[in-house]
């Protein structure tokens, strides 16, 4: 079956704000599909060519930060971040949008990951630490948005956790402490879908927990 083709001329902007836009994608006469996006019209995923689509960068990075501490098993570092649409602090991985400077870097995803780790945890990634791209571009909910995240892991060796700090948050970001999760704790959270407080969390958190269990579980 031939896929429907979208062009810039068939895109109407219904709402335009700094961080979010709502588009009407008119795939054919009388057929409307609404999409919420961070992108300007010319950067919408729906109007990209196949080659542009394959080469595109994601909107953001989500990082599984694994701490390697002396005489301890690896710990997944999570935080409690306030999620405004939910109105609560939710168990979350380190994550953030790609900045324009990241997109100009030789390794855009790693550049964004290093910056976000420092802003949200106070940890300066060392040359001896390892950052790996797990998934270059995954869509949040492609039935209503073209927003995308790359998933990475960062293996970080520390002598202790004294430098951890959440005061580097920017804009409207709000945090309420860290959570150090070993494999057994990760498995419990992953299977139940709830944190230690009995609260649910995002799909990104679930994905990071699953990768950590697969990587470090027996």
- Write the pLDDT tens digit of every residue in 16-48: 998 899 999 998 888 889 999 999 999 999 999
Q: What is the pLDDT of residue 126?
A: 96
Q: What is the CATH number of domain 60-216?
A: 3.90.79.10
Give the Cα separation of 21 and 35 in Å (integer).
Answer: 8
| Coil vs helix vs strand at 188 | helix
pTM (2 decimals)?
0.93
Q: What is the mean pLDDT of residues 54-78?
A: 97
For the beta sheet containing 11-16, the strands, ordered from the edge strand earlier in sequence to the opposite edge, are 11-16, 21-28, 31-37
The one-character DSSP state at 163 is T
What whole-number distance in Å separates Cα of residue 148 and Cα of residue 132? 18
Is pLDDT of 70 > 70?
Answer: yes
pLDDT in tens, 194-205: 999 999 999 999
Gap between the Cα atoms of 46 and 63, Å rounded: 26
145-182 per-position pLDDT tens digit: 999 999 999 999 999 999 999 988 877 889 999 999 99
Q: How confident is residue 69, by pLDDT bands cut at 50, 70 and 90? A: very high
- Mean pLDDT of the 96-111 span: 96
β-bridge pairing 60-68 and 148-157: parallel
What tens digit of pLDDT does each residue of 108-143 get? 999 999 999 999 999 999 999 999 999 999 999 888
Helix residue spans in 45-201 (DSSP H): 50-55, 100-104, 108-121, 183-192
Angle at 190 between CA 114 and CA 154, to 5 degrees: 15
Given this model, what pLDDT does residue 18 score? 87
Token pair recorded at residue 179 = 């959570």
Band (65; pLDDT cuts 50, 70, 90): very high
Band of pLDDT at residue 1, cut at 50, 70 and 90? low
**Contact, 163 vs 186, CB < 8 A?**
no
Distance CA 77, CA 50 (A): 37
**pLDDT value, residue 174:** 94
* Phi and psi at residue 43, to the nearest 5°: -105, 5
What's the CA gap between 195 and 171, in Å, rounded? 26
Give me the residue spans of the domains in the chain: 8-48, 60-216
């Amino acid at each position: 079956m031939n896929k429907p083709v979208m062009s810039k001329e068939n895109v109407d902007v219904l709402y335009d704000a700094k961080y979010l836009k709502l588009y009407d994608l008119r795939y054919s006469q009388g057929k409307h599909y609404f999409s919420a996006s961070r992108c300007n019209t010319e950067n919408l995923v729906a109007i990209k060519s196949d080659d542009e689509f394959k080469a595109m960068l994601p909107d953001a990075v989500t990082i599984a930060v694994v701490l390697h501490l002396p005489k301890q098993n690896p710990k997944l570092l999570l935080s409690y971040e306030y999620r405004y649409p939910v109105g609560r602090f939710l168990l979350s991985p380190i994550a953030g949008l790609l900045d324009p400077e990241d997109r100009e870097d030789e390794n855009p995803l790693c550049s964004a990951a290093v910056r976000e780790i420092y802003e949200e945890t106070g940890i300066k990634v060392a040359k001896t630490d390892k950052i790996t791209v797990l998934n270059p571009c995954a869509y949040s909910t492609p039935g209503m948005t073209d927003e995308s995240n790359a998933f990475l892991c960062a293996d970080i060796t520390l002598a202790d956790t004294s430098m951890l700090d959440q005061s580097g948050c920017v804009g409207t970001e709000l945090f309420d402490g860290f959570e150090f999760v070993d494999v057994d704790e990760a498995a419990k959270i992953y299977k139940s879908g709830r944190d230690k407080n009995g609260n649910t969390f995002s799909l990104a958190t679930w994905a990071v927990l699953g990768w950590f269990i697969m990587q470090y579980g027996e």
